[in-house]
Amino acid sequence: MTSPYQADEHRYQSLAYRRCGHSGLRLPALSLGLWHNFGADADLHACRQMLCRAFDLGITHFDLANNYGPPPGSAESTLGILLRRDLAAYRDELILSSKAGYIMWPGPYGDGGSSKYLFASLHQSLKRMQVDYLDIFYHHRPDPNTPLEETMAALALMVKQGKALYVGLSNYPAELARRASALLADLGVRCLINQVRYSLLDRHIEPETLPACDALGMGCIAFSPLAGGLLSDKYLAGIPADSRAASASPFLRESDITPARRELLLRLNALAAEGGRSLSDLALQWVLRTPTLTSALMGASRVSQIEAAVSALQQPPLSPDELAAIEALLSQAAAAE
């Protein structure tokens, strides 16, 4: 029989907590996403170990979406079971977030950005997670078939009804984020945060989205900070048979790991080693080098990955010389493409 969980009394000594835009909310520099490895076929004991160890290390933010699984909805159900069993006493210390915006059920009301879909999805998420409210509810992606005014009005109503404390955007480019933020402000609700893909290998948010978040007083949280595992040591010697790239994953394909890309990874790894870091340590530190980035959102399949990521952020920040050397490597790689 599993012993009752008791949180580590030193849990707030491992990580920094960064202010989310101009709000009063602070998020841990590292957040845990339940996109993979928490579905219906997951080992519940392993899920429990990861969640409890993450919380013991100061990771207070657990991020989900209605369609996380597989199958869709099951990651929220897994979290609901573990919240009830182990973390119910710590609910007020947790930031629980979920999203809706991708297809979730058949028919015209199971996808998009309509009020009908968003409220139905929110209520389903609350039921699966067995909580009365979410700390953050996101619109998962822009919906060109729904007026932005309708989507933002739905998010604002969730806050006013107390079903979400904060609302945010995910995958919103700069101009849409500006419009969404203005619409919410007119309704008396702050747009807390934008969740976007960002890593050393994917810098598309730098020219416009990051400056927009900064100007709007909006936080920013980066998903895939390790580029789907590319910025770990997993692919430095080739493509392992048990890796995501070898499994025909739509999120990381074998064709993505070109000779030029592997050469860049090797050079970044060598630079990291000069500073006594691993490649993943360097990648996480790099993503969080700017205060506009509130948190890096990691996924995990085992406890050791969570421990390693927390350890990475306990190291000194990257020095100006290291940042300059990274920039030179990235510029050289871009010029060679």
pLDDT digits (tens, 9 = 90+) for 172-181: 999 999 999 9
Is residue 336 scored above 90 in pLDDT?
A: no
Among the ranges given (81-85, 173-177, 254-258), the one the predictor scored with the smallest mean pLDDT: 254-258
* pLDDT value of residue 3: 81
- At residue 337 the predicted structure's pLDDT band, cuts being 50, 70 and 90, is confident
Q: How far apart are CA 325 and CA 13, in angstroms?
A: 31
Overall average pLDDT of the 65-69 stretch: 98
pLDDT digits (tens, 9 = 90+) for 203-247: 999 999 999 999 999 999 999 999 989 998 877 866 654 555 545
* pLDDT value of residue 236: 81
Instruction: Give the CA distances from residue 238 to residues 32, 96, 232, 265, in Å, rounded to whole numbers and listed in that order.
Output: 27, 37, 12, 11
Q: How far apart are CA 48 and CA 194, in angstroms?
A: 28
* pLDDT value of residue 106: 97
* pLDDT value of residue 63: 98
Average pLDDT of the chain is 94
Please tell me the total number of residues recorded for the chain in this structure.
337
Overall average pLDDT of the 151-176 stretch: 98
- Residue 124, number of CB atoms within 10 A of its CB: 17
Domain assignments of the chain as residue spans, ordered by start: 16-231+280-317
CATH code of 16-231+280-317, in short, is: 3.20.20.100
Of 79, 69, 2, which Cα lies nearest the Cα of 41?
Answer: 69
Helix (H) or strand (E) holding 326: helix 320-336
Instruction: Give the CA distances from residue 151 to residues 104, 154, 155, 162, 169, in Å, rounded to whole numbers and listed in that order.
Output: 17, 5, 6, 17, 11
Under a CB-based contact definition with an 8 Å cutoff, are residues 168 and 136 in contact? yes
- Say if strands 293-298 and 30-33 run parallel, antiparallel, or are unpaired: parallel
Task: Please report, rounded to a whole number, the percentage of residues in the chain having pLDDT higher than 90.
Answer: 88
* pLDDT value of residue 255: 64
Under a CB-based contact definition with an 8 Å cutoff, are residues 47 and 54 in contact? no
pLDDT digits (tens, 9 = 90+) for 265-316: 999 999 999 999 999 999 999 999 999 999 999 999 999 999 999 999 999 9
For the entire predicted model, the pTM comes to 0.94
Among the ranges given (50-59, 61-70, 227-236), the one the predictor scored with the smallest mean pLDDT: 227-236
Q: How far apart are CA 323 and CA 317, in angstroms?
A: 10
- At residue 254 the predicted structure's pLDDT band, cuts being 50, 70 and 90, is low
Under a CB-based contact definition with an 8 Å cutoff, are residues 32 and 63 in contact? yes
* pLDDT value of residue 299: 96
Overall average pLDDT of the 116-143 stretch: 98
* pLDDT value of residue 247: 55
Among the ranges given (84-93, 95-104, 235-244), the one the predictor scored with the smallest mean pLDDT: 235-244
Q: How far apart are CA 250 and CA 257, in angstroms?
A: 14
Residue 216: helix, strand or coil by DSSP? helix
